[in-house]
Structure 1
């Protein structure tokens, strides 16, 4: 069974100073315009996951660096 994708109306209200450093899976998936499963796998590959009690946070700075490594020159 699939999950319904959450639509965020005003993305700018989610970020302070233009960008959040730590996001949850749903916020990160919306921020990078991809599905939750794809974003989860990307965060695991980049080793950008922080587990705090029962919350999982993803460091967007590490994700950005990881994505930049795949850029075609």
Structure 2
């Protein structure tokens, strides 16, 4: 893992484009996910996403059904 990746993974707040890249999804999907998670902070025209809140929200989609993995 290079230094840039380590630094990015330790961030608590990111802008939409960076978050979309980190989570390997489209920008529009990441924006909607962040809004659904209520993880957005807006200061004038700057929007930051709290990754701690987003990760907690993502855990609600964790599939625990053993049948799914067969």
Give the TM-score band, short-chain normalised.
0.7 to 0.9
| Cα separation, partners in 2 of 1:23 and 1:15, compared to 1, 3 Å | farther
CA-atom RMSD in angstroms? 2.2
Higher helix share: 2
- 1:21-58 Cα distance to aligned partner (Å, 9 max, x none): 00000000000000000000000000000001210000
Regions of 4+ moved over 2 Å: 14-18
Structure 1 runs not aligned, ≥5 long: 1-10
| Cα separation, partners in 2 of 1:57 and 1:15, compared to 1, 3 Å | farther
Contact 1:23 1:58 in 2 (8 A): yes
- What's the TM-score, normalizing by structure 1? 0.77
Other structure's SS at 1:16 match:
helix
| Cα separation, partners in 2 of 1:66 and 1:12, compared to 1, 3 Å | farther
What is the total number of aligned residue pairs between the two structures?
A: 64
Q: Bigger radius of gyration, 1 or 2?
A: 2
| Cα separation, partners in 2 of 1:12 and 1:64, compared to 1, 3 Å | farther
